Amino acid sequence: MARSVTSSSTAVASRKRKSTGNVEGTKGRSTKQSKNSLDAYFSPQVLASSAPGEDEGSKQHVSLNEQQISVLKMVVEEEKNVFFTGAAGTGKSLLLRAIITALRKKHAKKPECVSVTASTGMAASNIGGTTIHAWGAVTPGMHDIGKLISCIKTARPAHQRWKTTKVLIIDEACCNRRFLPAPSCH
């Protein structure tokens, strides 16, 4: 048995109201710009640049979570070597850009101290770096360390980069087994 529902409504002329100007306290903020939540307001803010290739003025303040802040402090303040990983969409690239920004700010007097590399060209362009092979004159597939060192020493710019770099960032290092310890079976 089918039911039929009828509803009677009165015809009321209602229009959506549109903004006629800026609301006090929102000077020049576009309507598509996200509003800060209370949690985001109280969490530490990091100025992070967007992916290279986009507008230079597209830097924005973003909030890092507690784990990301911990990693950021370990790298920038405690000067520890770190390897961080996570599932897609967890903020790895955001954290890496925040680390790069903080390190470049810390070493502003000697910018050559911070080198940003990746194992693939796509990953390198995503973080504004170069491939580890181009940066350090590292020949892929060369297993003879003596030959590798001699190749690096003959490439003067690369040799100089190896000598002056204090912080070497390698994004997607897992794509290049040469930079990771051999897996052990237990």
Task: Note the pLDDT tens digit of each residue in 24-37.
Answer: 544 544 444 444 55
Q: How confident is the model at residue 179 (pLDDT cuts 50, 70, 90)?
A: very low
Tokens for 3, please give them.
């039911």
With 90 as the cut, is the pLDDT of residue 135 above it?
yes
With 80 as the cut, is the pLDDT of residue 125 above it?
yes
Percent of the chain with pLDDT strictly greater than 90 = 31
Q: Please report the domains of the chain, with CATH numbers, ordered by start residue.
A: 38-177 (3.40.50)
Q: Of residues 177 and 93, which shows the higher confidence score?
A: 93
Q: What does the radius of gyration of the chain's CA atoms come to, in whole angstroms? A: 25
Q: Of residues 60 and 113, which shows the higher confidence score?
A: 113
pTM for the model stands at 0.63
Characterize 137-165 residue by residue with b for buried, 16 or more Cβ atoms within 10 angstroms of its Cβ, and e for exposed.
bbeeeeeeeeebeebbeeeeebbebbeeb
Contacting residues for 65 by C-beta, under 8 A, at least 6 apart = 43, 91
117 touches 128 (CB < 8 A) = no
Compute the average pLDDT of residues 35-63: 58
